[in-house]
Amino acid sequence: MPYIKNSAGGKIINITQVIINESVSNSTATKNDWVPTIPNVGSASQYFGMTVSPLSANSKILFTGFVSASLSTDQGLFMYLLKDGSHITEANGITTGTSRAPAHSGIGYCETQSMASLPINYLMTPGSTTPFEFHVGLRHRSGSTQTIHLNETAEPANDGKFNRPVSVFTAMEFLS
């Protein structure tokens, strides 16, 4: 298990925050992943997350935030963390020897009219100053194709009793 022992330093040298208020959804088959992109940004490669440009290769970057998600059925929903399209192994659950999928956070049961805030909390050393994409992927546990919704409830009614939340990604870079 990776951990930080008595990390010295602590001066914040860079903060980046992205608040995504656009909604997006996807019909996702059983045991398939959905790596969403941000709608209406003009580029299909803009992941649902943030671009990070480290100032130091040896710094520490603390990622915090949450993704607001719902599902079209009363089932479980989970999220995992990615860097440039690849799993961040140490940020997601260990699945060696099982058929389970790795996850950073999730909810065991998400009703169709409710919303889950899937938390993000991860500390990493960037290893270089090359910009990279920090983003998420999602999966559900239903036995059939379901629609995953981000920043909106699965309930289609245009009614004031249903919400339209945001998703927030924050990266704080510290000298170490």
The CATH number of the domain holding residue 45 is 2.60.120.1340
Domain around 99: 12-174
Is residue 3 included in any domain, yes or no?
A: no
Tally of domains within the chain:
1
Q: What is the pTM of this model?
A: 0.86
Among the ranges 48-57, 65-74, 139-148, which has the highest mean pLDDT value?
48-57
First to last CA, the chain: 20
Contacts of 112 (CB under 8 A, 6+ apart): 70, 71, 72, 73, 74, 153, 154, 155
Average pLDDT on 78-93 reads 91
In a domain, 147, yes or no: yes
What is the band of 43 on the pLDDT scale with cuts at 50, 70, 90?
low
Give residue 110's pLDDT band: very low, low, confident or very high (50, 70, 90).
low
Distance, in Å, from the CA atom of 31 to the CA atom of 145, rounded to the nearest integer, reads 9
Is residue 2 included in any domain, yes or no?
A: no
| Per-residue pLDDT, 160 | 72
User: pLDDT-derived band of residue 1, with 50, 70 and 90 as boundaries?
Assistant: very low
Tokens of 115: 């919303």
